[in-house]
């Protein structure tokens, strides 16, 4: 795959929660413009810590982290936040507001020229029209996930951070979300995905990185990772490769 200009550049990234609690041990990786990049690891591997640093939530890291060509420490917070979108695993919405009211509220934080049409997004995400003006508290988890995705996309972010994007969705909803993510890539958006869903990683991602014990243990395209770890008798799945590299299953 042709190397793209780096939207994310991480060099010798370290982070400690205390004197004897080093969570990251010198990570090196880059994410190209328009790439869908998967970041996978067992529980406690440093995956969430890395994502929190990249989204500006965690400070005090060692090494360098550059986004959009600038060191993260030097980027003005408002400018940075207007370029990224973050989908958390648990929907971040106001439960007493409707889908439309939520979207209009979150849209108010962004320049008007960045905004996409709220109703069109809800249609694309196949949220039934009769729920658009009902409070989010009456929605199922899958419906809330659809509105959360609309909230993230309404500002036309250049860089998307997706944490378990298909969590809470039925199989048809998961297919829809994968299609939406692909559509964002075609718009030029770069996507950083953390997930426990190996199918999402295999079907969606241009490249995947496996992290274990705070260190990267593999990074390549899903096809090359599977090819390198297969034998003549049996082709490896991406999960087989993950277990071989980390010694654990993804959800453990």
Over residues 212-221, the mean pLDDT reads 94
The 10s digit of each residue's pLDDT in 121-133 is: 999 999 999 999 9
Contact yes or no for 167/132 (Cβ under 8 A): no
Helices 171-186 and 141-153: angle between axes, nearest 10 degrees:
0
Tell me: pLDDT of 203 over 60: yes
pLDDT tens by residue, 188-197? 999 999 988 8
Q: Which CATH architecture has domain 36-61+77-246?
A: 3-Layer(aba) Sandwich (3.40)
Enclosing H/E stretch for 228: helix 222-228
How far lies 61's CA from each of 53, 55, 67, 159, in Å?
8, 13, 15, 21
pLDDT of 232 strictly over 90: no
- At 196 the pLDDT is 83
Global confidence as pTM: 0.92
Domain ranges for the chain, please list them: 36-61+77-246
The 8-class DSSP code of residue 98 comes to B
């Amino acid at each position: 795959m042709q190397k793209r200009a780096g939207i994310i550049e991480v060099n010798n990234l370290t982070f400690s929660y205390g004197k004897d609690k080093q969570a990251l041990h010198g990570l090196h990786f880059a994410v190209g413009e328009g790439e869908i990049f998967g970041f996978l690891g067992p529980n406690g591997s440093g995956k969430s810590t890395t994502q929190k640093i990249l989204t500006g939530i965690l400070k005090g890291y060692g090494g360098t982290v550059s986004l959009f060509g600038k060191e993260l420490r030097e980027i003005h917070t408002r400018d940075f936040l207007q370029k990224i979108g973050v989908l958390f695993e648990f929907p971040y919405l106001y439960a007493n507001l409707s889908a439309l009211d939520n979207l209009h509220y979150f849209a108010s934080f962004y320049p008007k020229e960045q905004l996409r049409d709220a109703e069109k997004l809800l249609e694309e995400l196949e949220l039934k029209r009769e729920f658009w003006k009902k409070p989010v508290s009456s929605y199922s988890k899958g419906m809330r996930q659809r509105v959360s995705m609309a909230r993230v996309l309404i500002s036309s972010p250049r860089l998307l951070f997706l944490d378990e994007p298909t969590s809470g969705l039925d199989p048809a909803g998961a297919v829809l979300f994968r299609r939406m993510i692909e559509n964002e890539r075609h718009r030029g958006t770069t996507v950083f995905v953390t997930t426990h869903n190996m199918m999402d990683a295999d079907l969606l991602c241009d490249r995947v990185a496996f992290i274990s014990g705070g260190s990267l243990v593999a990074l390549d395209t899903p096809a090359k990772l599977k090819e390198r770890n297969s034998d003549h008798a049996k082709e490896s799945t991406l999960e087989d490769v993950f277990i071989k590299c980390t010694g654990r299953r993804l959800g453990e």
